[in-house]
Structure 1
């Protein structure tokens, strides 16, 4: 399935979820589970990531703590659209990871964002980048807050995503807050979207689960604001 990242329909109204709790949702092609080796060496789903539009079409965004936790994680694998044990859009591995130096040195919660450039793994490539295969979210920097948003993430103990629609509020000048319970471990890095296109399911990405308390707790999720520093990190990753 190929979805154009530039095709934007009339955004669907994002009415709050009822009941207001993270619930199973339909997988979205650009959103997937991020795996790394567990303690036993077997692949372990530890986070969520999303394809975001870029000039080369090969860019993911996730939380920095998903890729650098005292050191860079190795043997990462991204599985977009994962469901029921099926990887419908293949497996993708990083060729480059960009994280703000302040996360590496200080674990600054305001810098809990990472970009990954990826290539297809496991079979001869047809030359198409991941964005041409899955479509992509449109990253939006310094987006206004207080409006409706949609949060999605893959729990570590299941291979289908959870989603919730609610308001993305300002926790502080540098953090977003999304007060919908039920996002457990594994959902870190999941996208916070506005202006979701009903035809493609893609939208404007204004944050990822992370930031304060590395994403929050069961009741509330957080995100570092995608500010000018994150925009610079994006430009560095796509240069």
Structure 2
């Protein structure tokens, strides 16, 4: 029914979605509540941390819209504003940045899943970026995924920097209403992190940015740029091989170019050569001007899907929406939103 209504031109928003109506943001920013109260967020934290994090370990990589067919764009898009950026968060002395992690959630099928997510610079050090359809359920028609959390530095079932329950998501209005996949990204504010003791009692571990750092953010950057991808790929290539398990963070480096995905349809996308498979790597960070020693750079893309462009039955290209001035508007709205403590 949802698809039919959109096809008839009767667009409608997600339940609970609110358009931000300042002049600069009108018809661009939609905010979606994920956990409106600390009590609800505490229940979600307990769900994921109970039994030694059993639900974290048992979650499977999200397998919705993991691959697409690509072509070159008929006409390269023209940026809508000047290029811009915000600097990364450098964590306190002695703290190594650990900005990549997993976004866990319960999907429309009632099962626990995960995508990749990234901690970002923000006023309150509480912001995470991931693929939009890892937060809003475009397949089942539900308003949002449920019980959404972020675990930076996830490896082998461990949450070394704590678990951060998402409070609110900020997405493009066109994605929230029309499933516009050229806008398939989300910025989530999260509560302070929590950990659970042997008795299941939650304790506060502090703000995400203080514990893990935060990548910078860049928009309207030129293509043909080198970016470094960070993600947790897990699924198979079309030939059935499985080079990744999803238990550890992987990285790759490639050069970006304009691409289109007519089947979506989406004409204004960016591709990068990368061997990542789709499942698990949805939401992977594309970092430009990455400093290897400091482990910080500028987020300039997010994997929304992957593609096999040379028909050899192995994925070779990651796909991201282009981060333009409207993306920056959404990011800035999210980056100034306060969350606070969970316990």
**TM-score with structure 1 setting the length:** 0.80
Higher RCO (C-alpha 8 Å, min separation 6): 1
Secondary structure of the 1:88 match is: coil
Instruction: Please say which structure displays the higher CA radius of gyration.
Output: 2
Cα distance change on mapping 1:215 and 1:107 into 2, 3 Å = farther
2:204 alignment counterpart: 125
- State whether residues 118 and 285 of structure 2, in contact with CA within 8 Å, keep that contact through their aligned partners in structure 1: yes
Q: What pairs up with 1:52-91 in 2 under 5 angstroms?
A: 52-69=120-137, 70=141, 71-91=143-163
d(CA) in 2 for partners of 1:195, 1:169 = 17
Alignment pair present for 1:34 and 2:103 = yes
d(CA) in 1 for partners of 2:318, 2:292 = 24
Q: Cα distance, 1:65 vs. partner?
A: 0.8
For structure 1, which segment, 147-156 or 108-117, has the greater mean C-alpha deviation from structure 2 after superposition? 147-156
d(CA) in 2 for partners of 1:76, 1:219 = 29
- State whether residues 278 and 306 of structure 2, in contact with CA within 8 Å, keep that contact through their aligned partners in structure 1: no
Size of the alignment, in residue pairs?
212
Q: Decide which of 175, 178, 186 is 1:103's aligned counterpart.
A: 175
Secondary structure of the 1:75 match is: strand
Secondary structure of the 2:290 match is: coil
Q: Decide which of 314, 324, 337 is 1:227's aligned counterpart.
A: 324
d(CA) in 1 for partners of 2:226, 2:119 = 21
d(CA) in 2 for partners of 1:136, 1:200 = 11
d(CA) in 2 for partners of 1:29, 1:188 = 18
Q: What pairs up with 1:1-239 in 2 under 5 angstroms?
A: 5-6=89-90, 29-37=98-106, 43-45=112-114, 47-69=115-137, 70=141, 71-119=143-191, 120-122=193-195, 123-126=202-205, 128-156=206-234, 157-171=245-259, 174-210=268-304, 214-216=305-307, 218-239=315-336
d(CA) in 2 for partners of 1:175, 1:40 = 29
Q: Deviations over 1:25-73 (max 9, x none)?
A: xx9610001111257856322x111001011110011111110023211
Q: Cα distance, 1:204 vs. partner?
A: 1.1
Query: Structure 1: which 5+ residue stretches go unaligned?
Result: 8-26
d(CA) in 2 for partners of 1:107, 1:60 = 21
Secondary structure of the 1:149 match is: strand
Q: Cα distance, 1:189 vs. partner?
A: 0.7
C-alpha RMSD of matched pairs (Å): 2.3
Q: Cα distance, 1:86 vs. partner?
A: 1.6
d(CA) in 2 for partners of 1:41, 1:150 = 33
* Runs of 4 or more consecutive aligned structure 1 residues displaced over 6 Å after TM superposition: none
d(CA) in 2 for partners of 1:52, 1:185 = 23
- State whether residues 51 and 61 of structure 1, in contact with CA within 8 Å, keep that contact through their aligned partners in structure 2: yes
- State whether residues 306 and 316 of structure 2, in contact with CA within 8 Å, keep that contact through their aligned partners in structure 1: no
